[in-house]
Each structure stands twice: as C-alpha cells, then as structure tokens.
Amino acid sequence: MMDQKVDSGEILSYRKYTAISSVNNPKNILLIHGNFCGQRNWDPFLKYLKEYNVYTLDLRGFGKSTYNHQIESLFDFAKDVVSFCEKQNLNKIQIIGWSLGGAVAMSVALLQPTLIETMILMASVNLQGFPFMSKAGRVKDVIEIKKRLQKIGNLLTRENQQFVFENIIQDRILPKNNQCEEGFLDIIFDQLFSQRNYVDATAYLGIWDISDRCQDIKCPILIYHGTEDIVITYDNAVYNYQTLAKYNPKTYLFTLDGGSHAPVYEVPQQMYQIFDYFIKNHKINQINSRL
C-alpha cells in the first residue's frame, strides 16, 4: 500500500494495479468502499480488472488512512477523492461506489463533473441518503443522530467480535450463504475494526440528500443492485433509477435477482462482465440476471 496526502491534510492509503501491457491507453477505475469496510473489501473483484489501471483507497477514517479532521459532511470524503485524483493526475475516471461509496461517488460527480467518465452505483444508498426517522419525520439534527449511533459505535471492538460477526458482518457484509474466499473473513474483520469514524460517517449519511441536485450528474450511470439486499433495499435502486433517468438518458438499472448487499463476494466475475461492457459502451446489454 502507498500513501497520498490530500488537500485536507489527511493521508489516504491506496493501491494501484497497472493494466496488462497488451492494452493500449487503459482506462482508470477508482473503487470507493462503503461503511464497515475498506479498500481490501474489493479484493475478490480485482483479479478480473486486468485491462484497467485500478486504484483502491481507504476513505478518511477507514482502513489505514488518517482521521485527523472529523468530517462535517459526506462531501468531505468527496473532496478528498477529488484531491487524490488531482495529485495522481487522474481524469476521465470510471468510478465505482459501493453502498456509502455510492453517495461519495455522486458527491464527486457534483463537485467535479469533468473528472468522471462513467459512474457505477453498486448497492448504493438512496439519493436522499440513509435517513433516520422519528415520529415527527426525518431527523436532520446530526447531534441527535450521533447520540443514537454511539452505543453501536462503542461495540465495534475486537472484544465484541462475535456480536459484530452476527449482527454486522453476517447480515450486512457477507453474501447470503456466508461464503467468501478462504482467509478473507479475517480481512473483513480487519477492515471493519480499522474504521474510526463510524458515528460521523453514518450520521452525515443520515442527513446527506442530493435529490434536488441530481440533475447536474451528466455522466453515464449504471445502478447495480440485488433484490435481496437487506441493508439498502432494492426499492432504493428503483427510486434512484427513476429519478436520475428523468434528467440523464444514459442511466441504466441492472437487477441482480436474489442478490445481497455483497455482490463482490457472490458474483465478482458477472460484476466484471456487466461493468466492463458498460464502461466500454456507456450502456448495458441486459437488464437483469438471477443467482
């Protein structure tokens, strides 16, 4: 892993995988992870991306990246990503955001529209974020949301590993059959326990809302979502598609029938086939598949 200092003063941990030499002018892919995760959660997918220059990174406060300055908005993550790309001389990137990473990817598109050539939202959050509700409606007070989250945040330690496995990893990260590559469960635990910003990231996801700005996202968009995702349910993908497609005719929805929140562990090869076609053609050649 390598380090890149960005304009916020944070140091982002990242990896770069160079395309095989037979590919002329390879495109650059940037992978943005979600909550409870880090860049290594993408590892089962990387072996399929040999035709691309691939960058993975840990967002501020995740994995091996620093967290010297607390975020005050999800756009702080996006600003770090934009700065990272500038310092790496990246442009016209293919950005893939998973879960919370989808919100970061969309925020990047709003901050720096010309940076992104194509965007893939995999099991992504809603354009209205991940709202916290009360009897009076959506909670917009971030301090109140943080108070709700602190109890969970306090449990995210190795001393509570069994609780974390049963209530977070098993339900939210692993595929339905709980299968992943041998030895990879240790990496999943390591990535989760390396997160230092759970309360902040989740609270600001709770008030993030770009539904009134999404018409400004102009790049081709692929929404890839499983029907059995219990973390961010499939209806969120339908909402995102219907809303974005009103303004952007190059918006596509791919439905993974029976898919969970973790297609990167379930169907990485199929993911590659769908994503590769979209990146090269700016459209999709099928609209669904079944596990």
| Tokens representing residue 48 in the block | 């399929």
> Averaged over 215-226, what is the pLDDT?
98
CA distances from 107 to 32, 110, 134, 145, 274 (A): 12, 5, 26, 21, 23
**For a pLDDT cut of 70, what percent of the chain falls above it?**
96
Domain annotation for the chain: domains and CATH numbers:
2-290 (3.40.50.1820)
**For a pLDDT cut of 90, what percent of the chain falls above it?**
80
In the three-class reduction of DSSP (H, G, I as helix; E, B as strand; rest coil), residue 71 is classed as coil
Q: Which pLDDT band, with edges at 50, 70 and 90, does 180 fall under?
A: low
Q: Is the pLDDT confidence value at 178 over 70? A: no
pLDDT digits (tens, 9 = 90+) for 37-72: 999 999 999 999 999 999 999 999 999 999 999 999
> Averaged over 105-119, what is the pLDDT?
98
Q: Is the pLDDT confidence value at 230 over 80? A: yes
68-72, 100-104, 124-128, 156-160: which has the minimum mean pLDDT? 156-160
Q: Any bridge partners for residue 78, and if so which?
A: none
Calpha distance 85→25 (Å, rounded): 18
pLDDT of amino acid 115: 98
Q: Look over the chain and give the mean of its residue pLDDT values, rounded to a whole number.
A: 93
pLDDT of amino acid 21: 85
pLDDT of amino acid 181: 65
